[in-house]
Amino acid sequence: MARVQTMTTLNTRMIISICVWILISSSYSDAVQSDIDCLKSIKQSLQDPENLLSSWDFNNNTEGFICRFTGIECWHPDESKVLNIRLSDMGLKGRFPVGLKNCTSLTGLDLSSNKLDGPLPSNMTDYVRFVTSLDLSSNNLSGEIPASISNCSFLNILRLNNNQFTGQIPYDLSKLDRIKEFDVAYNRLTGQVPYFSGNGTATIGADSYTGNPGLCGGPLPACEGATKKTHMGVIIGAAIGGATLAALVVGVGMMFFMRKVVRKKKEEDPDQNKWARSIKGTKKIKLSMFDNPVSKMRLSDLMKATNSFSKENIIGSGRTGSLYKATLEDGTSLMIKRLHDTQHSEKEFASEMATLGNVKHRNLVPLLGFCVTKQERFLVYKYMPNGTLHDNLHPVGDNASPMEWWVRLKVAVGAAKGFAWLHHNCNPRILHRNISSKCILLDQEFEPKISDFGLARLMNPVDTHLSTFVNGEFGDIGYVAPEYARTLVATPKGDVYSFGVVLLEIVTGEKPTHVSKAPETFKGNLVEWISDLSAESKLHDSIDESLVAKGYDSEVFQVLKIACSCVLPAHKERPTMFEVYQFLRAIGEKYNFTTDDEILMPTDTGDAGDIELIVAREVKGKK
């Protein structure tokens, strides 16, 4: 009887698993309404004499139906968020489609070689704020080039050539420091061309301005009056040359004097934490705490617990800030993060903290509270006694013992569960954007806890619909997905890539940017080394020697294969974070890491737009 019950249970689980995967791959749901409205508006505002937009059928209601429209690329079929619109050479007529405002995740727009006319909207930022490639070439667009384009700071490519634009090129376009291709050839433009100072400006030559006889400066002939100004500059320079020489002598003397002063201050204050001294007058400020046990803490308590945030108390540092260990008078330990370069106001910061304070999961480092004083922002976290995954995988010292396999696998499964929950079940969904082995902390039982979740928004004032989708110089070297350098936009599959690098660290014991087992002539990173070994059918050679021939070779190699799928060059070929968790969960099942997990469909179907798979549901109401 027991055997029959066991078989029935197994069959039921198998059926549920099959149903879940069927639902993942072919479930029906509403697409994101704003993107539907965006495409509807585009179709309504443009004439389509050749009927090339006939596939744009809005009566369809299957999942991702808009992603199958001609010229539309989505982030992912189950996201239904429009990534690129490519409608080049389709004979379309009309004005610039203002409905683009509703495509809030758009990164590429190509309307070239059509018959669009009229001026561009003056507030272009409202329509293409996050676009990295904008191609409106070979149309009949007229009027002046809107100066607001200079606020589209993510632009890599801007093509406005072969139109009827008039007036001057807005000099503010020189603020586009990411621009690599800029083309306004064959218009009716006049005046000084902008000076681009970004890394890609070597490609912006005279050809970019051809066909505009009224343009001058830059790679073109100098503007009238420039030569006279140059001569005047020489005269003025000669006149003040003597005064400059005298000032230089005085300056050198002052420099030596100031060096002595600075050296003396360094001796008195080796940590040079002037910012900590500057907030001493605000020590009575209370911390805003989410958990009652430490609800009465003040900034002065943190100052004392961290020895005024001394260098000796730093236990970690990264792109988001420095992490300090704080020891309270009763012996309780906390972690205090001092954020770097947050540009939010105090009110905005408090609002973000209120949101993050409600983001709770067993595999996230608990955020206990925060503090704002002057220009400083502090976060208070629960202390993790076993440090970071990075420090455990790459210990310093000859006597350090390598991590055992079951611990590594436990960390991989738990971390994947946390990231999957952030991507698929958290409300709002959160992209981490800074995944590395340093952001995975370990508690007393080596249960992984993800830190820095949600902090990407605090490093940049720009926000989007997908919580932390915007780009920025973010992510540790060796962990950033290759497409990021091209698009400068963070995506869920970018997070998957970064986590794949972490899995490679777990299996190989190597660092992302330095492979000790590679030949001396090898100058690449960990992913490139794995790719080379895979091409030579030598993947087994990458496995950490401490894990070889210990009885779990098959498990190690399975995790290695999952890692390889995560770091595939083509982002569309990578699994989702949900799938990564499912794969790892299956491998770790015999260790009972996830015995209290279930993969269930939400029981509340009241709001179809919010339906998602529950990634992990714990018994007794825990997460």
Of 501, 475, 362, 354, nearest to 425 by C-alpha is 362
Confidence check: pLDDT of 294 > 50: no
Closest CA to 378 of 334, 431, 422: 334
Range name among 130-134, 265-269, 318-322, 494-498 with the lowest pLDDT average: 265-269
Q: How much is the pLDDT for 8?
A: 43
Provide the CATH number for the domain formed by 279-383 in this structure.
3.30.200.20
Least confident of 124-128, 218-222, 345-349: 345-349
494, 484 in Cβ contact below 8 A?
yes
CA pair distance 10, 235, nearest whole angstrom: 91
Specify the pLDDT at position 135. 94
Q: Kindly report each contact of residues 306-311 with a partner whose C-beta sits within 8 Å and lies 24 or more positions away, as own/partner.
A: 306/336, 308/273, 308/276, 308/277, 308/280, 309/273, 309/276, 309/336, 309/338, 310/271, 310/273, 311/270, 311/271, 311/273
Q: How far apart are CA 17 and CA 183, in angstroms?
A: 53
Q: Which of 54-63, 461-470, 513-522, 603-612 has the lowest mean pLDDT?
A: 603-612
pLDDT above 90 as % of the chain: 28
527-546 tens-digit pLDDT:
999 999 888 888 889 999 99
What DSSP letter does each residue of 167-226 carry, written as one string?
EEPPGGGGG-TT--EEE--SSEEEEEPPPP-STTGGG--GGGGTT-TEEESTTSPPPTTH
With residue 314 as reference, give the H or E element that holds it.
Answer: strand 314-317
Quickly state the pLDDT bin for 512 (edges 50, 70, 90).
Answer: very high
Residue 157 confidence (pLDDT):
87
Choose among 244, 219, 322: nearest CA to 276: 322
Whole-angstrom Cα distance, residue 322 to residue 316?
A: 6
φ, ψ (nearest 5 deg) of residue 421: -65, -40
Q: Is the predicted pLDDT of residue 115 greater than 80, yes or no?
A: yes
> Quick one: average pLDDT of 129-153?
90
| Phi-psi group of 231: left, alpha or beta (phi > 0 → left; psi -120 to 50 → alpha; rest → beta) | alpha
Assigned superfamily of 33-216: Ribonuclease Inhibitor (3.80.10.10)
Q: Return the sign of the alpha-carbon dihedral for residues 53, 58, 61, 65.
A: positive
Residue 556: predicted pLDDT:
93
> Can you give the pLDDT at residue 251?
55
Structure tokens at 417: 């569960």
Q: pLDDT tens for residues 324-380?
A: 888 888 888 888 888 876 666 777 777 777 777 778 888 988 888 887 776 778 888
Under the banding of pLDDT at 50, 70 and 90, the label for residue 454 is confident
CA distance 99 to 117: 16
pLDDT digits (tens, 9 = 90+) for 237-265: 544 454 555 455 445 555 545 554 444 44
Checking if the pLDDT of 565 tops 50, the result is: yes
Residue 75: the pLDDT is: 62
The helix (run of H) or strand (run of E) holding residue 140 is strand 140-143
Query: Confidence class of residue 128 from pLDDT cuts 50, 70 and 90?
Result: confident
Could you say which DSSP state residue 126 is in?
A: H
Burial-class residue 282 by CB neighbours within 10 Å (0-12, 13-18, 19+): middle
Residue 150 has pLDDT above 70, yes or no: yes
Q: What are the residues facing 82 on neighbouring strands? A: 74
Residue 604 pLDDT: 35
Supply the pTM of this predicted model: 0.53
Q: What is the pLDDT of residue 544?
A: 93
Where does the chain hold its CATH 3.80.10.10 domain(s)? 33-216
The domain 385-621: what is its CATH number? 1.10.510.10
Q: What backbone phi and psi angles, to 5 degrees, belong to 337?
A: -105, 125
For CATH 3.30.200.20, the residue range(s) in the chain are 279-383
Q: Taking residues 262-283, what's their average pLDDT?
A: 46
Q: What is the mean pLDDT of the chain?
A: 75
The one-character DSSP state at 364 is: B
Q: Quickly count: other Cβ atoms within 10 Å of residue 398's Cβ.
A: 5
Nearest residue to 418 (alpha-carbon basis) of 397, 403, 435? 435
Residues of the chain with CATH 1.10.510.10: 385-621
Give CA–CA dist 97/29, Å, rounded: 27
pLDDT band at 218 (very low <50, low <70, confident <90, very high): confident
For residue 315, the model assigns a pLDDT of 82
Average pLDDT over residues 408-421: 93
Q: How many whole angstroms separate alpha carbon 456 and alpha carbon 372?
A: 18
Mean pLDDT of 549-578: 92
Per-residue pLDDT for 271 more than 60? no
Distance from the Cα of residue 77 to its chain's centroid? 20
What end-to-end distance do the CA atoms of the chain give, in Å? 34
Question: φ and ψ at 457, to 5 degrees?
Answer: -65, -35
Residue 459 has pLDDT above 50, yes or no: yes
Q: What percentage of the chain has pLDDT greater than the value 70?
A: 71
The pLDDT score that the predictor gives to residue 561 is: 92
**pLDDT-based confidence at residue 212 (cuts at 50, 70, 90):** very high
Helix axes 553-566, 577-587, angle to 10 degrees: 180
Q: What are the residues facing 84 on neighbouring strands?
A: 73, 108
User: Per the omega criterion (within 30 degrees of 0), is the bond before 428 cis?
Assistant: yes
C-alpha–C-alpha distance, residues 69 and 480, integer Å: 30
